[in-house]
Chain A
Amino acid sequence: MATTVTDTSHSETLPSLTNDEIHRYSRHLILPDVGLTGQRQLKNARVLLIGAGGLGSPTALYLAAAGVGTLGLVDFDVVDVTNLQRQIIHGTKDVGRPKIESAKDRIADVNPHIHVEAFETPFTSANALDIAKDFDVIVDGTDNFATRYLTNDTAVLLGKPNVYGSIFRFEGQSSVFATENGPCYRCLFREPPPPGLVPSCAEGGVLGVLPGLIGTIQATETIKLILGVGDNLIGRLLLVDTLAMQFRTVKVRKDPTCPACGTREIKELIDYEEFCGIPQAAQQEARAEVVNVTPAELNARIQRGEDIDLVDVREPFEWDIARIPGARLVPLNSVQAALGTFDKNRTIAIHCKSGVRSLKAAGVLLDAGFTRVLNVTGGILRWADEVDPTLPKY
């Protein structure tokens, strides 16, 4: 049965459409199940998009084009040139601009009738409830586990649907969580994986068109929720595999023991960084012996003639794109097997693309008894910024 987020029993309270709007939305107005009332429901709707990145781009564009009256956007990032491979709401001219501003301009161009409420801030436990409380639907276009659990718990606490989408490499997931009787994200995944187990898109890569597919599914589900038509992905998880080009749905049951929507023991938002196992202090404690070095500092030490074993723990295809002269390649998953190639008496400097994998590799070496281990912060990207601007950044 269709779930609706707006009460349509008093359609006289819905905003009317101007002649311009009637003209613009003509293909909706002649569409059974949308029509004039549906279009007025869309105009009346308030949808909050958490993240104006890969998923948020197509979602925002289609919701704007469809005539969703108010779009809330939460993002604190600026447009980077590496975003443009998939974040189609931003353009080359927007590089360096706040994503919120870039998205707002693009939405105004797509449909000037849309009102945008911009929140240029990280979505946190401190502001989430306040930001989300006046919206009808929340769309999860975030890119990390902590914000996904925060988004879910916010939706559950406020009793608003959470239209979920998530992507990695060639595969995506989508569902609709936190409706009145449906399951929530915690019913599907009770706890997040430990930090580092699942690489981010920045580390693992993502097919540029994939967020387009998943984001438009999120937009579709959002519009169906607003209109109260069709069968939503409530209680179902859609799995998309673009390599096999297979779409599959599995059942997601509402878990009576779920601390968010089952027992409701989560009565307020928590510290999601800690929940996801990334408390800053603990992280530093666990890796107390890893000494961080910036590319500039490391280069100065090498130039002074210090004997340093510079080890690149990226993958061979990344090595082919760019490498630091003098480095040797030992991909992260080979470090354990290659322990015999390291010398305990030498200083070992580990680098990767941006500093995450190198920290893990440094941990492996410390566990194996190596003591003179340096982690090159910011990886080869920062090396390109600080030491060698001729290196391509990817």
Chain B
Amino acid sequence: MPVTLNLPTVLAKLADGNKTLEASGATLGDVVNVVAQQYPNLAPRLRDDTGQPYPFVTFYLNDDDIRFNGGFAAPVKDGDEVTIVPAIAGG
């Protein structure tokens, strides 16, 4: 059972409309790499040119902000759930 990624609608559009994706890896960065290769249009919205997360897109690993757990180096295991939350500003 791989890691599940929950995408908001705005990013799902770049992943063929899928709001949940599944991928495996040892770290969150590995999982993001797999997904980025699968959906090249989504890739630049998940990480910057250096492969790091943006300050305006927050990744939650099982509802915890990954920045406090090593960022993309955070270890993941099968069954983990990752939620991607981009900044939005509408009001």
Contacts and interface: CB of A to CB of B under 8 A. Distances in A.
Contact of B88 (A141, A173, A243, A252): A173
Given A189-B55, A191-B56, A250-B63, A148 B89 contact: yes
Contacts of B67: 255
Interface stretch (B22-30, B32-40, B70-78, B79-87): B79-87
Contacts of A239: 8, 83, 85
Given A190-B55, A193-B54, A200 B90 contact: yes
A206 B64 CA distance: 28
A145 interface: yes
Nearest to B61: A250
Contacts of B55: 189-191
A143 B91 contact: yes
A206 B89 CA distance: 12
Interface string B1-16: 0000000111000000
Contacts of A167: 88, 90-91
A8 to B, nearest CB: 31
A33 interface: no
A198 B87 contact: yes
A189 B89 CA distance: 11
Interface string A159-175: 00000011111110100
Interface residues of B, number: 23
Given A169-B9, A193-B54, A193-B56, A250 B91 contact: no
A171 B9 contact: yes
A54 B91 contact: yes
Nearest to A168: B88
Contact of B58 (A56, A140, A188): A188
Given A192-B56, A237-B85, A250-B85, A206 B90 contact: yes
Given A250-B85, A251-B63, A189 B58 contact: yes
Interface in A103-158: 140-145, 148
B9 A173 contact: no
A250 B8 contact: no
A264 to B, nearest CB: 19
Contacts of B60: 250-251
A142 B65 CA distance: 25
Contacts of A169: 9-10
A104 B72 CA distance: 49
Interface of B is mostly: mixed
A198 B83 contact: no
A166 to B, nearest CB: 5
Interface string A179-199: 000000000111111000010
Contacts of B63: 248-251
Contacts of A198: 10, 86-89
Nearest to A201: B90
Contacts of A211: 91
Q: B63, B64, B89 — which one has the most chain A CB atoms within 10 A of its CB?
A: B89
Q: B10, B64, B88, B91 — which one has the most chain A CB atoms within 10 A of its CB?
A: B91
A193 B53 CA distance: 12
A171 B8 contact: yes
Contacts of B83: 239, 248, 250
A235 to B, nearest CB: 11
A51 B65 contact: no
A55 interface: yes
A148 to B, nearest CB: 6
Contacts of A192: 56, 87, 89
Contact of B91 (A55, A171, A248, A251): A55
Contacts of A141: 91
Contacts of B57: 193
A173 to B, nearest CB: 7
A97 interface: no
Contacts of A54: 90-91
Contacts of A206: 90
Contacts of B47: none
B91 A170 contact: no
B53 to A, nearest CB: 10
Q: Name the 4 nearest CB pairs between A and B, nearest first.
A: A190-B55, A201-B90, A168-B88, A143-B91
Interface of A: 51, 53-56, 140-145, 148, 165-171, 173, 188-193, 198, 200-201, 204, 206, 211, 237, 239, 241, 243-244, 248-253, 255
